Structure 1
Amino acid sequence: MTSPDEFREHVRAWCVANIPTDWRATQTGASEAEFVAFQKAWFAELHAAGFAVPHWPAEWGGGMPVDEQIVLYSELAAHDAPRLVLAFVGIHHAASTLLVAGTDEQRRRHLPAILDGEIWVQGFSEPEAGSDLASLRTTARREGDTFVVDGQKLWASGGLHADWCLLLARTDPGAPKRDGISYFLMDMTSPGVEVRPIRNAVGDSHFCEIFLDGVEIPAANLIGTENQGWQVAQATLGAERGMTMLELTERLANAGFRRLVQACSPITDARVADRLAQFEIEIAGLRGLCRDLVLSHDTGGVGAADASVVKLFYSELLQRMTDFGAEIGGLAAHTTLVKPASSGWESGAWVLDFIGSWEWTIPGGASEIQRTIIAERGLGLPREPSSV
């Protein structure tokens, strides 16, 4: 068993030897094919080192203690490692769903494939079902051993390159909103699946629309019980949020804040120093919350609103930090029109990062939804009246 200091030194040495020093230059303005090839190669490097899925159970290639995961993510961020953009849904959301609610056959089929580079997309949101996800209209009707799916999904990040999709569809139109939804694994090469990229405000096209026209999904690809997909989605993705936030928070603390301090270094105004000190305090608090959430998840002690607290704190802190970076960057920051394709929301291209930060206050439950969850489930306040 290695000591914490020995593990940190091991990770640092690996970072120095393996993180490509020119990745920012090569990924700035990269084509879709270049981006995909780089992402798959980088994932393979991390997997070979045992760093790709540290949060998975040991039997599936993970088993790293939480303390070591924190060290790993902090060192990767400190050494400016690229983000696993394409693999993110697969190693977090898909894996969590399979581990908690999948069958043995589904786990054997997909978990090793994810480690071999299988790309996943999340097919949850729809044009009229975003924060109110239970209003989704995509339907799946059973015909023998097959479900036939019709509908549309929106804001599907990475959908253009995905091999498989985590899909929510309504299987009982007559049931109350949350009671008639089922959870599926959908092969993106199935006939009737059409993916259209959406160009966003910063010029990226990682968001996609997915159109489903008579798509057949084998009943063997149903996750959990028919009509109980809402419960599966809440149980698996809510618990997993702590793991994803652990990595993102370390990147914000190590990479994002460091770049912000560097951008402010020529400025001697005391007000700037005060803002930096406030950000540092907030980051320390966020890191503590993330650590507690992950540890509580391991011991089964996660509170009903804990994940919402962390998500809300992170997304709005990210927004404030990138806003301040854009302010400090001045006119020069507004002339940066592209950032590295494999970077995160704290790349240092401040205006683009700030625009992108608004994404985080919307998906996974908008900030208003998170506040409602915190109020009702965390603080026990009266529920808001329903219009339905």
Structure 2
Amino acid sequence: MSSPVLEDFRVGVRDWCRVHVPVGWRVGQTGVSDAEFVGFQREWFQTLRSGGFAVPHWPREFGGGLTVAEQVVLYQELAAADAPRLVLAFVAVHHAASTLLAAGSEAQRVRHLPAILEGEVWCQGFSEPGAGSDLASLRTVARREGDDFVVSGQKVWASGAQYADWCLLLARTDPVAPKRKGISYLLMDMRSRGIDVRPIRQATGESHFCELFLDEVRIPVSQLVGAENAGWQVAQSTLGAERGLTMLELAERLGNAGLRWLVEECARPGPDGSRPVDDAVIADRLAQFETEIEGLRVLCRDVVQRYEAGRVGAADASVVKLFYSELLQRLTGFGAEVGGLSAQSVLRKPSSGGWESGAWVLDFVGSWEWTIPGGSSEIQRTIIGERGLGLPREPQ
């Protein structure tokens, strides 16, 4: 995959990171207020944008255009430089953009893609208290009144909704149709009347997720994505991004920062002077993690390349999402185990970091987030079996 042109690109990214990655950001972003977190994230997004690195996976005409090989190099170098993650813009640059590019109208793309580059923040209103993994059972209702849909219902696990300007919303527009046939996909302005956002405090002490309570929220019909009652098909673009394309960056961060910190943890002498890495069983586990991470990297690159070539399989993104989330869980759990009692006392981590921060107990608790949203591990295995391997569908 290496070439003189690609190596020149790597050198350029590495030099850029040396100048632009904020020094000491991990300490500065630990224990900060919401306002400090948002301000830092907005500034970092614009810094990346100025270098041409904020949306590398977008089409060139919208500010992206990097090849898959260049994206791999970019994420390798960002991880190696321990750069902050785009936490605040994550849903916007991945989920919202992939949906608009795949199924949005020209007016919707022109309206929102440039706005995302200017800092427009998005959240996702899919899951409900009774419709998580079985998303098609959602009960939020949107009834048509003239040029508007009037929406009422409840959403949960909406990441970053307390900061969002817009929301990707699924609602039932035909209550008598089969459950996957009567859903529409709407773009909801979070400043609309009738929206109540309530952050959910998590076990880690953060409030990353929110509940949304919608009471007669009016959404113009012009903000319908795709055809009315065809939102389930549109949602697959969003879920495909969540399960597939976003993993390219996450795999590099897990392999660079996550594995590096785990090796450092295992090489640190304990009170008696012994090092965990000198134990043959632990050394074998580290080698296993390194092998699995390299496999994840190869999977991610392959999926992105086939996605760009129009040859991605129906279950490919689910394979990547399942592999990443369970590997993340095993790696962070192992870090908490070998870290011993001292690992239990680290109870804060940087707000702009990833799921692997070296705060092993918090990382492990947070890793369970990945085996549930975007389709639980059980749902991913069902998709792989039915759509990837052609096995018979489970009985209803």
Match for 1:82 among 74, 81, 84?
A: 84
3-state SS of paired residue (1:63): coil
Alignment CA distance shift 1:146-1:362 (3 Å): same
1:381 has 2:391 as partner: yes
User: SS at 2:353's partner residue?
Assistant: coil
Residue in 1 that maps onto 2:199? 197
The corresponding residue for 2:160 is: 158
How far apart are residue 236 of structure 1 and its match? 4.2
What does residue 326 of structure 1 align with? 336
Counterpart of 2:250 in structure 1 is 248
1:259-301 CA-partner distances (Å, limit 9, x unpaired) = 1111111321111110000000001111111010000001111
Alignment of 1:228-247 (within 5 A): 228-239=230-241, 241-247=243-249
TM-score of the pair, normalised by structure 1? 0.98
SS of 1:371's partner is helix
1:177 match: 179
CA contact under 8 A between 1:318 and 1:357: conserved in structure 2?
Answer: yes
* SS class of match (1:225): coil
Given residue 171 of structure 1, which amino acid in structure 2 is its aligned partner?
T
- Specify the code of the residue in structure 2 equivalent to 1:313: F
- 2: distance between equivalents of 1:69 and 1:312? 22
- Structure 1 residue 239: Cα displacement: 5.0
Q: Which residue of 1 aligns with 2:105?
A: 103
Post-superposition shift, 1:235? 3.4
Q: Which runs of 5+ in 1 are unaligned?
A: none
Q: For the residues of structure 2 that align with 1:71 and 1:188, how far apart are their CA atoms?
A: 36
C-alpha separation in 2, matches of 1:229 and 1:133: 12
After the TM superposition, which parts of structure 1 deviate over 3 Å for at least 4 consecutive aligned residues?
none
Q: Judge conservation of contact 1:55–1:64 (CA < 8 Å) in 2.
A: yes
Match of 2:128 in 1: 126
> What SS does the corresponding residue of 2:31 show, helix, strand or coil?
coil
Task: State how 1:23-34 maps to structure 2 within 5 Å.
Answer: 23-34=25-36
Q: Cα distance 1:19–1:276, how it changes in 2: closer, same or farther (>3 A)?
A: same
SS of 1:360 mapped into structure 2? coil
Q: 1:2 to 1:194 in 2, by over 3 A?
A: farther
Partner of 1:302: 312
| Structure 2 equivalent of residue 275 of structure 1 | 285
SS at match of 1:215: strand
Does 1:315 pair with 2:321?
no
Question: How far has the Cα of 1:2 moved from its partner?
Answer: 7.0
Aligned to 2:302: 292
Give the Å deviation of 1:38: 0.3
SS in 2 for 1:130: coil
Show CA shifts across 1:217-261 (max 9, x none). 000000000000000001343156322010111110111111111
Is the Cα contact below 8 Å between 1:239 and 1:297 reproduced in 2?
no
| Range moving further from structure 2, 228-237 or 208-217 | 228-237
Report if the CA contact (8 A) 2:243-2:374 is conserved: no
Whether contact under 8 Å (1:96, 1:240) holds in the other structure is no
| Identity among equivalent pairs (%) | 72
Q: For residue 145 of structure 2, what is the aligned residue in structure 1?
A: 143
AA in 2 matched with 1:13: D
Aligned with residue 213 of structure 1, among 212, 215, 219: 215
Give the RMSD, CA atoms, in angstroms: 1.0
Task: Find the aligned partners of 1:3 and 1:360 in 2 and give their Cα distance.
Answer: 36
Q: Is the Cα–Cα contact under 8 Å of residues 98 and 237 in structure 2 kept in the other structure?
A: no
CA distance in 1, matches of 2:100, 2:237: 12
- Give the structure-2-normalised TM-score: 0.96
Give the Cα–Cα distance (whole angstroms) in 2 for the partners of residues 14 and 238 of structure 1.
31
> Which of 225, 231, 235 matches 1:223?
225
What is the Cα deviation at residue 200 of structure 1? Answer: 0.3
Do residues 340 (structure 1) and 350 (structure 2) align? yes
Match of 1:16 in 2: 18
User: Which of residues 263, 266, 272 in structure 1 aligns to 2:265?
Assistant: 263
Find the aligned partners of 1:242 and 1:204 in 2 and give their Cα distance: 26
Of stretches 236-245 and 42-51 in structure 1, the one that deviates more from structure 2 is: 236-245
Kindly provide the CA deviation profile for residues 75-95 of structure 1, in whole angstroms up to 9, marking residues without a partner as x. 101111111001000000000
Q: Contact (CA 8 Å) 1:165, 1:188: kept in 2 or not?
A: yes
**SS at 1:3's partner residue?**
helix
> How many Å apart are 1:22 and its aligned residue?
1.1
Q: Which runs of 5+ in 2 are unaligned?
A: 269-274
The secondary structure found in structure 1 opposite 2:233 is helix
SS state of the match for residue 165, structure 1?
A: strand
Q: 1:173 to 1:244 in 2, by over 3 A?
A: same
Query: 1:219 and 1:2, CA in 2 relative to 1: closer, same or farther beyond 3 A?
Result: farther
